[in-house]
């Protein structure tokens, strides 16, 4: 590790720590700790959501997926970006108008059911864990490339996992949502700037996306594989047209037609059920602000993913030629092709910016992992501290006690994720999809899109949704999706395996159907009309509803006063 790389990494951590200290909440209320006082502006919240969402899977994983399989890898970018369309149209504004601390709290209050709240907590914690692990893996991979040695007798990979997870866990526990919001906003801007710098350097060197895709598509797609104790280049077969060689610029390098559709649906539906992203909408001051924030998020992440696809293509086009000029690439490549696809962006950074460029891109990768970990830990804290501890274990808890439980839960969740990331080492996997980090994140999207999204959408838009129906949807969606993607690892490459690895195409319709059927046979909450006005009524309707509630409360108070006399 060079002095330049050390300085770059330390500078990033100092900025992150400084933001947390400056923006640390002065009070210990749960609204401040979990929701930043519900006063986060549109610009800040849009940057923070991008920082929350653009994880190591987005920064390292999308470019890696494109590097390995060309057009098929670009489906990750499409699915990740498209996920905010249903959020914009169906979820953002009604969710914020209803106003709670978390998705579990929203579902529990809307359906007047503690059972729904607690089952939602279980599903949410599973999603968070599945999302935390690949972020820790991304931190370990980046540290291993950037530093190359471990600390305290640990391997470089394990050191990276522990350090990246521990630092952000401490910052989240100290700063809460307010500190994390500003951290994620700053981290997104740094991440975006690093990607823009790399795109500018590559373009200035003469790279043209269209020409590169055409050139790469003139020959079969080859990728390294570890066989019989050594690395060998193997030719990818076309999954759409069996018997033909796969090429970079055509579909089929990794997925058949069914697999491509299943992947996009899984990623697209999963976004609306991600707890760390949806919880951010509760921090907006109004429903209109939540909707406007989503529009800005769509624009920003659209640009980001377009650049990520471009850089994955650039890496595939440039690195083989650069391997002849840079001897250090021999340790990372096989005949000019990277053995670890997630190294694509850091290697480009080193080619164009030497050690400073490597430090910048590696630091950006750590930022991506740490920013998402922060959001996930806060979502975990909200579900344990507010939905479980305050609601069920200790309803008389003080604000200070609830906040301390939330802080403790962030450290526990971080420890569990880091431990599993170290146990599930990258070399132990043979991914069913092009990038290990992106593949592991898909598991979280699959559970969220199969269990939480159907129930959340129906709860918002269908009056007849009942607690029993929601429980049926949550349990069936989560169970089916888990069984399907676990079963995929035991199947040979086939359309069935592709469908099983991205199960939302099957599990989500099943969850929708069961929620509807069970709801039709049970009774909805009696307060559904009042809830409907809060979520969907006009401003005048909601104002009238609030006046009516205030009048009713005043009448009850007067009656109680008369009885007391």
Asked whether the predicted pLDDT for residue 387 surpasses 70, the reply is: yes
Q: Is residue 151 scored above 80 in pLDDT?
A: no
CA distance 459 to 452: 10
Q: Please list, in sequence order, all residues whose beta carbon lies within 8 angstroms of the beta carbon of residue 432, skipping any fewer than 6 positions away.
A: 439, 488, 489, 497, 498, 501
pLDDT digits (tens, 9 = 90+) for 196-224: 999 999 999 999 999 999 999 999 999 88
Instruction: Indicate the domain borders of the chain.
Output: 3-236+269-426, 526-565
Q: Are strands 333-334 and 230-235 parallel, antiparallel or unpaired?
A: unpaired
Alpha helix stretches (DSSP H) within 147-155: none
pLDDT-above-90 percentage for the chain: 34
pLDDT at 496: 87
Using one digit for the tens of pLDDT, what is the confidence trace for 7-53?
766 776 676 666 666 655 555 545 555 454 445 668 888 888 888 88
Structure tokens at 183: 């951290």
Burial (CB count <10 Å: 0-12, 13-18, 19+), residue 220: middle
Q: Is beta strand 337-338 parallel, antiparallel or unpaired with respect to 333-334?
A: antiparallel
pLDDT for the residue numbered 372: 79
> DSSP letter string over 76-92?
HHHHHHHTHHHIIIIIH
Long-range contacts of 14-18 (CB under 8 A, 24+ apart): 15/186, 15/190, 16/167, 16/168, 16/171, 16/183, 16/186, 16/187, 16/367, 16/370, 17/171
Q: Which is more confidently placed, 102 or 546? A: 102
Residue 548 binned pLDDT confidence (cut-offs 50, 70, 90)? low
Rounded Cα distance between 178 and 299, Å, is 24
- Give dist(CA 488, CA 433) in Å, integer: 11
Mean pLDDT value of segment 448-469: 96
Rg (CA), the chain: 24
**Hey, how many other C-beta atoms are within 10 angstroms of the C-beta on 50?**
24
**Per-residue confidence band for 431, with pLDDT thresholds at 50, 70 and 90:** very low
Of the candidates 297, 348, 425, 381, the one whose C-alpha atom is nearest the C-alpha of residue 194 is 348
Give whole-number Cα distances, 413 to 13, 159, 380, 418, 419, in Å: 21, 18, 7, 9, 10
Structure tokens at 422: 């170290």
Q: What is the mean pLDDT of residues 131-147?
A: 79
Tell if the pTM clears 0.75, that is, is over it.
yes
Task: Name the β-bridge partners of 234.
Answer: 223
Average pLDDT of the segment spanning 444-448: 94
Q: What sign for the dihedral angle of Cα 491, 496, 498, 499?
A: negative
Candidates 80, 51, 76; CA nearest to 63 is 76
Which of 15-29, 201-215, 468-482, 492-506 is predicted with the least confidence, judged by mean pLDDT? 15-29
Would you call 230 helix, strand, or coil by DSSP?
strand
Q: In the predicted model, what is the mean pLDDT of residues 87-96?
A: 90
pLDDT the model gives residue 136:
82
Give the tens place of pLDDT for each residue, 281-308.
Answer: 887 888 888 889 999 999 999 999 999 9
CATH tag, 3-236+269-426: 1.20.1730.10
In 3D space, the residue among 58, 375, 82, 350 whose CA is nearest the CA of residue 192 turns out to be 58
Q: Are 484 and 518 in contact (CB under 8 A)?
A: no
Neighbours of 480 (CB within 10 A): 20
């Amino acid at each position: 590790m060079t002095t330049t790389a050390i300085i770059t990494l330390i500078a990033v951590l100092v900025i992150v720590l400084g933001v947390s200290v400056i923006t640390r909440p002065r009070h210990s209320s749960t609204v401040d700790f979990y929701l930043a006082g519900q006063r986060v502006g549109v610009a800040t919240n849009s940057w923070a959501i991008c920082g929350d969402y653009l994880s190591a899977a987005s920064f390292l994983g999308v470019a890696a997926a494109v590097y390995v399989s060309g057009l098929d890898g670009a489906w990750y970018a499409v699915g990740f970006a498209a996920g905010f369309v249903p959020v914009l149209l169906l979820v953002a504004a009604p969710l914020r108008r209803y106003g709670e601390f978390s998705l579990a709290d929203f579902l529990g209050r809307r359906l007047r059911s503690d059972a729904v709240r607690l089952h939602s907590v279980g599903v949410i914690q599973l999603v968070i864990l599945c999302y935390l692990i690949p972020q820790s893996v991304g931190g370990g991979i980046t540290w291993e490339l950037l530093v190359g040695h471990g600390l305290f007798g640990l391997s470089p990979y394990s050191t990276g996992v522990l350090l990246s997870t521990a630092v952000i866990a401490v910052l989240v526990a100290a700063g809460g949502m307010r500190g994390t919001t500003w951290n994620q906003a700053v981290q997104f801007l740094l991440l975006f700037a690093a990607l823009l710098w790399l795109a500018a350097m590559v373009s200035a060197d003469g790279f043209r996306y269209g020409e590169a895709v055409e050139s790469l598509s003139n020959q079969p797609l080859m990728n390294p594989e570890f066989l019989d104790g050594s690395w060998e280049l193997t030719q990818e077969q076309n999954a759409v047209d069996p018997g033909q060689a796969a090429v970079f610029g055509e579909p089929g390098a990794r997925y058949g037609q069914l697999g491509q559709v299943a992947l996009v649906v899984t990623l697209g539906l999963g976004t609306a059920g991600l707890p760390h992203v949806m919880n951010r909408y509760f921090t907006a001051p109004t429903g209109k602000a939540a909707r406007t924030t989503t529009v800005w998020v769509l624009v920003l992440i659209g640009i980001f993913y377009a650049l990520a696809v471009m850089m994955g293509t650039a890496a595939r086009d440039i690195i083989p030629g650069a391997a002849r000029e840079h001897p250090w690439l021999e340790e990372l490549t096989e005949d000019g092709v990277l053995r670890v696809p997630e190294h694509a962006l850091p290697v480009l950074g080193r080619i164009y910016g030497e050690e400073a460029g490597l430090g910048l891109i590696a630091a950006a990768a750590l930022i991506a992992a740490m920013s998402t970990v922060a959001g996930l830990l806060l979502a975990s804290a909200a579900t344990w501290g507010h939905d479980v501890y305050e609601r069920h274990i200790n309803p008389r808890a003080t604000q200070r006690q609830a906040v301390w439980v939330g802080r403790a839960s962030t450290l526990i969740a971080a420890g569990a994720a880091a431990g599993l990331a170290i146990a599930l080492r990258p070399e132990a996997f043979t991914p069913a999809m092009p990038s290990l980090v992106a593949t592991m994140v898909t598991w979280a999207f699959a559970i969220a899109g199969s269990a939480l999204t159907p129930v959340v959408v129906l709860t918002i838009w269908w009056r007849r949704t009942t607690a029993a129906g929601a429980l049926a949807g949550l349990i069936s969606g989560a169970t089916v999706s888990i069984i399907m993607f676990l079963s995929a690892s035991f199947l040979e490459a086939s359309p069935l395996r592709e469908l099983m690895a991205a199960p939302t195409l099957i599990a989500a319709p099943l969850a929708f159907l069961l929620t509807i059927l069970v709801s039709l046979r049970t009774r909805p909450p009696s307060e559904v009309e009042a809830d409907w006005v809060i979520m969907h009524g006009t401003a005048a309707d909601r104002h009238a509803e609030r006046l009516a509630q205030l009048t009713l409360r005043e009448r009850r108070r007067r009656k109680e006063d008369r009885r007391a006399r």
